[in-house]
Amino acid sequence: MARAYNFSPGPAALPEAVLRQAQADMLEWGDAGASIVEMSHRGPEFLQVARQAEADLRTLLAIPDDYAVLFPAGGATTQQALIALNFAGAGQRVDYVVSGHWGKTALKQLVSVDVNIAASGDSDGFRTIPARETWRLSKEAAYVHITANETIHGVEFRPGWGRVPPDTGDVPLFADFSSSIASEPVDVSKYGLIYAGAQKNLGPVGISVVIVRRDLLERAGQPRADIFDYRSQLANESMLNTPPTWNWYLLGQTVRWMIEQGGTAEFDRRSALKSKLLYEAIDGSGGFYRNEVDPSVRSRMNVPFFLAEAALDAAFLEGAREAGLIGLKGHRVLGGMRASIYNAMPVEGVQALVDYMQEFRRHHG
Ligand code: PMP
């Protein structure tokens, strides 16, 4: 089988050009006599790779100089725990707006802080995001946390919802951008902190990105081990211990590819096109396929959808596989299907899915 169109939610498809480059680099890095993954992280070769990745990420996301960038090992869940440890005092109030599964996961990582759920879409199955006017924010909160894009529920803060990012006054806004980072231009200066696990738009699993306003790092936070301290990590270029060098290298390659493709403006354009194609196919199917998310907050990255008859799910997935379309099975929390259409998914891949959906419906509708 040739490489399929891969709609996996994460780890997700990487650009083929990046995989080919990685394949070439795997055996020997330049004329170093060894692969980049076999060399010291303190050596000049890897330091160059790491610093270039940061420089390129700063270019791609237009990160202002008064923001630091960290590349912590591990995933987004770890950052969900670390942000409270680093930025909230013991017992201090933190505000969370929950718009889906990952917002709930973020809550589970909190200990020793006073959690206020300022708003939640739970009561309507996360099909909407509560309007900003309904949020019950606390004046003294250490931060307000949102999930920019909910990967499972397919719910994203979009302009149709209201002002994005939402205004939180003097309290810094912290956002989980794991599944939508770099899918459109974002004004970083509106956020106190942005974090993302890399395994969707930024490349491989095993490394995260944290973008944080430098003045926030002066906060005392809570007692924590040095390895969990963002300040120590920053002072050591995210290399207090051995970083996941291969993942960092791959992230850098993926970021470079996005810049070469035209940057976030171009991915904004492609995301609009791809998501429109798919939602139109679902909405125009006469109920054969359905997506129940309020159109004003539908995600452009993750499109969950259901077949009218769940009994057809297995046949749908089997046929999709035969048509070279993989990774479409929905998350166990929701069931049904989900197409994740991150930056590495070409428009042709979404078109192939839409064509398949129409053909499947002709046979089974
Ligand atoms: N937040 C979001 C929005 C996610 O999509 C995910 C993973 N799918 C996570 C957090 C958790 O990430 P990780 O598995 O890297 O801890």
- The per-residue pLDDT for 11 is 97
In the annotation, is 200 catalytic? yes
Residues in the ligand 1 pocket, defined by CB under 6 Å? 10, 75-77, 102, 147, 151, 176, 178-179, 197
- The per-residue pLDDT for 365 is 84
How many Cα neighbours within 13 Å face the side chain of 250? 27
Q: How far is the CA of 80 from the centre of ligand 1 (A)?
A: 9
**Class of domain 17-260 (CATH, top level):** alpha beta
Pocket test for ligand 1, best of 145, 149, 178 (most atoms within 8 A of CB): 178
In the annotation, is 283 catalytic? no
Beta strands in 158-272 (DSSP E): 173-176, 193-197, 208-213
Q: Which ligand 1 atom is the nearest neighbour of the CA of 197?
A: 15
176 in Cβ contact with 157 (< 8 Å): no
Pick from 195, 190, 15, 241: which is nearest to 87 by CA?
A: 195
pLDDT tens-digit readout, 158-201 = 999 999 999 999 999 999 999 999 999 999 999 999 999 999 99
pLDDT interval class at 269 (50, 70, 90): very high
Break the chain into its structural domains and give their ranges.
17-260, 262-364
In the annotation, is 108 catalytic? no
Average pLDDT (106-114) is: 97
Q: How far is the CA of 32 from the centre of ligand 1 (A)?
A: 35
pLDDT interval class at 237 (50, 70, 90): very high
Q: Which CATH number fits domain 262-364: 3.40.640.10, 3.90.1150.10, 3.40.50.2300, 3.30.565.10?
A: 3.90.1150.10
pLDDT at residue 1 above 80? no
Average pLDDT (281-294) is: 98
Instruction: Return d(Cα 302, Cα 73) in angstroms, integer.
Output: 25
**Catalytic pick among 56, 161, 176, 257:** 176
Instruction: Return d(Cα 129, Cα 39) in angstroms, integer.
Output: 46
Q: How far is the CA of 303 from the centre of ligand 1 (A)?
A: 16
Average pLDDT (210-221) is: 98
Share of residues in the chain with pLDDT > 90 (%): 99
Mean pLDDT of the chain: 97
Instruction: Return d(Cα 275, Cα 34) in angstroms, integer.
Output: 42
Q: Is the ipTM of this complex over 0.95?
A: yes
- The per-residue pLDDT for 15 is 97
Tell me, rounded to whole angstroms, the distance of Cα 212 from its chain centroid: 16
195 in Cβ contact with 186 (< 8 Å): no
Average pLDDT (280-298) is: 98
pLDDT interval class at 2 (50, 70, 90): confident
Average pLDDT (245-249) is: 97
pLDDT interval class at 97 (50, 70, 90): very high
Average pLDDT (125-141) is: 98
Share of residues in the chain with pLDDT > 70 (%): 100
pLDDT tens-digit readout, 116-130 = 999 999 999 999 999
